[in-house]
Amino acid sequence: MSGWLFTYAPLVALCVSILALGASFLSLGWNIYRDVVLKPRLKVAFGIKSMLREGEEHRLSEMGPPLLILEITNHGPGEVVCSGAVAKTESFAFVRSLFGKLSYRFITPDFKHPLCFRLPYRIVVGEKIQIIFPYNQECFLAEAPMRIGINDSFDRTHWASRQELKRAIQQYRTDLGTAKIPVQ
């Protein structure tokens, strides 16, 4: 038995070393993927909503004024800092940026509203925040933006769905009757 051990010991040591090397490469790959590639995903929703006031029966007369609300939910993994709300105003953003025209604009939230979260805001996994904008004749929907979203700490923009924005623009036109650009 000891003769076999002395004969094949270098081969066993080589196999164990190769397995350890493979495990360390797997661990290194996972750490790079987790820290560099796998960044938090944000779910963004947008719409015109009203807040209900307290009462037993909810009638339209008891509803508060309509508000533009951008809701952001962190689906993880990890925390993320939301830095600003943006609207894309024109298509072909890359071509326009070559000529010095920016097609993205920051939107200023209504920080006076008590339920509006102040930006920048750190969102932990599973948390939802609301960014509230005024809903009036001068709101950003008058320019009919193509997209609306939020910038995060990884310099990415997470967009709300186009259908939600299209519904909000149509409701804005119905409610306030102003439109400069047709819905696309």
Query: In this structure, are residues 124 and 68 in contact, taking their beta carbons and an 8 Å threshold?
Result: no
pLDDT above 50 for 183: no
pLDDT 10s digits, 29-63: 998 887 777 888 899 999 998 877 665 565 555 56
Query: In this structure, are residues 171 and 140 in contact, taking their beta carbons and an 8 Å threshold?
Result: no
27 vs 132: CA distance, rounded Å: 43
What pLDDT is recorded for position 29?
A: 92
Q: Higher confidence at residue 105 or residue 54?
A: 105
What pLDDT is recorded for position 101?
A: 61
Phi, psi dihedral angles at 48 (to 5 degrees): -100, 120
What Rg, from alpha-carbon coordinates, does the chain have? 26
Pull the structure tokens for residue 8: 């094949």
Pull the structure tokens for residue 160: 């709300």
What pLDDT is recorded for position 179?
A: 44
The percent of the chain in helix, strand and coil, each rounded to the nearest 5, is 35, 25, 40
49 vs 155: CA distance, rounded Å: 29
Torsion sign, CA atoms 21, 27, 32, 37: positive
pLDDT 10s digits, 63-104: 678 889 999 999 988 889 999 999 988 766 566 666 666 678
Q: For the residues of 55-69, what is the DSSP string, one character each? A: SSS--GGGB---EEE
pLDDT above 90 for 1: no
47 vs 71: CA distance, rounded Å: 9
Pull the structure tokens for residue 7: 């004969």
Phi, psi dihedral angles at 131 (to 5 degrees): -110, 125
Q: Higher confidence at residue 93 or residue 22?
A: 22
pLDDT 10s digits, 109-160: 988 888 889 989 999 999 999 999 988 888 888 888 899 999 988 888 999 9
One-letter amino acid at 19 equals L
